[in-house]
A and B are shown apart, each in its own frame.
Chain A
Amino acid sequence: DTAVSQTPKYLVTQMGNDKSIKCEQNLGHDTMYWYKQDSKKFLKIMFSYNNKELIINETVPNRFSPKSPDKAHLNLHINSLELGDSAVYFCASSRRQGSTGELFFGEGSRLTVL
Chain B
Amino acid sequence: SQQGEEDPQALSIQEGENATMNCSYKTSINNLQWYRQNSGRGLVHLILIRSNEREKHSGRLRVTLDTSKKSSSLLITASRAADTASYFCATDGDNQGGKLIFGQGTELSVKP
Chain A interface (Cβ within 8 Å of chain B)? Answer: 4, 40-45, 48, 55-56, 58, 90, 92, 97-108
Contacts and interface: CB of A to CB of B under 8 A. Distances in A.
Given A90-B42, A105-B44, A99 B33 contact: no
Given A41-B104, A41-B105, A43-B102, A102 B45 contact: yes
A100 B97 contact: no
Interface of B: 2, 30-31, 33, 35, 37, 40-45, 48, 86, 88, 90, 92, 97-102, 104-105, 107
Query: Majority SS of interface residues in chain B?
Result: strand
Contacts, number: 59
11 contacts: A41-B104, A41-B105, A43-B43, A43-B102, A43-B105, A56-B97, A58-B99, A103-B33, A103-B90, A107-B41, A108-B41
Given A101-B48, A103-B100, 7 more contacts: A4-B42, A40-B104, A43-B102, A45-B99, A90-B43, A102-B33, A106-B42
A56 B88 CA distance: 22
Contacts of A43: 43, 88, 102, 105
Nearest to B33: A102
A100 B100 contact: yes
A48 B98 contact: yes
Given A101-B48, A103-B45, A105-B43, A42 B99 contact: no
